[in-house]
Amino acid sequence: MHRAPRLTSPCASRDWEKAYWEHRAKVQNAQPLVDTCMPPTFYHLHLKLKKLKMEEERISTIDRDNRLLLEKVATIMRTRGQTDCQNDSTYGRW
């Protein structure tokens, strides 16, 4: 088994004690070596411009279709919604 070296003179004891307390001071003042801060955020990865553009195009298509449908409904309401239900076909005759 290893044993601590025996100090024979009081001067050696003071040197060891001084070195020990210097080491303790260094340990107390030590800064962390591991980077624990948050990684940088890249906004072009969070702000998906292509997705926003596609959504805007989709909404504009829906708005256009709704406007055309509204015009058709308005025309039907204005003309009292007459339907062509005249059936001139003859069934079973050749």
Q: Note the pLDDT of residue 92.
A: 66
pLDDT per position as a tens digit, 23-82? 999 999 998 888 888 888 888 888 889 999 999 999 999 999 999 999 999 988 888 766
Assigned domain for 8 exists: no
Helix spans in the chain (H)? 10-28, 43-46, 49-78
- Note down the domain range covering 73: 48-79
Q: Comparing 8 with 34, which gets the higher pLDDT? A: 34
Assigned domain for 3 exists: no
Assigned domain for 53 exists: yes
pLDDT for 21 beyond 90: yes
- Under the banding of pLDDT at 50, 70 and 90, the label for residue 7 is low
37: left (phi over 0), alpha (psi -120 to 50) or beta: beta
Assigned domain for 58 exists: yes
Assigned domain for 27 exists: no
Assigned domain for 71 exists: yes
pLDDT for 5 beyond 90: no
Assigned domain for 75 exists: yes
Of the candidates 59, 65, 87, 86, the one whose C-alpha atom is nearest the C-alpha of residue 73 is 65
| Total of domains in the chain | 1
How far CA 75 is from CA of 1, 4, 78, in Å, comes to 104, 104, 5
